[in-house]
């Protein structure tokens, strides 16, 4: 689900990173076309966009985006490290999935 249109590469990746840090799978789309055209941000429909991969997290994602757009700040993490339930790897709280086996941290 498309959740955000960015002005430039840095903003697109920053927003995707904010969402990922909160445990929301997100990706930037439209980069190859954007870099090919060059002025993609000025052409309607050619902006880089951020998509979330889990529709059920739309409300949470929109809340994070609202905070970003109004300058309320970046969410912080009070949870400590988490252990992957599949392989046992220990991860810092900002990581949404296990680097070793890909299992998501279901902290909801």
Same domain, 7 and 37: yes
pTM over 0.85: no
> Is the pLDDT at 87 greater than 90, yes or no?
yes
Burial environment of residue 93 by CB neighbours within 10 A (0 to 12, 13 to 18, 19 or more): middle
Q: What is the pLDDT of residue 91?
A: 84
Which ranges of the chain does DSSP label H, i.e. alpha helix? Answer: 9-21, 31-37, 58-69
Residue indicated by tokens 């994602």: 61
Looking at residue 7, its pLDDT comes to: 86
The residues, any chain, with a CB within 8 Å of residue 58's CB and separated by 6 or more, are 1, 3, 52
Q: Is the pLDDT of residue 101 over 70?
A: yes
**Residues 69 and 23 grouped into a single domain:** yes
Looking at the fold, whether 36 and 85 belong to one and the same domain comes out as no
Q: Which domain range does residue 92 map to?
A: 77-108
6: left (phi over 0), alpha (psi -120 to 50) or beta: beta
pLDDT digits 0-9 by tens, 33-67: 665 655 555 566 678 899 999 999 999 899 999 98
């Amino acid at each position: 689900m498309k959740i955000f249109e960015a002005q430039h590469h840095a903003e697109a990746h920053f927003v995707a990173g904010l969402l990922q840090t909160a445990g929301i799978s997100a990706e930037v789309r439209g980069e190859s076309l954007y870099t090919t055209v060059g002025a993609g941000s000025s052409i309607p429909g050619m902006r880089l966009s951020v998509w979330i991969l889990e529709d059920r997290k739309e409300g949470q994602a929109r809340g994070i985006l609202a905070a970003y757009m109004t300058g309320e700040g970046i969410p912080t993490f009070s949870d400590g490290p988490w252990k992957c339930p599949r392989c046992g790897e220990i991860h810092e709280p900002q990581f949404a999935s296990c680097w070793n086996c890909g299992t998501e941290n279901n902290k909801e």
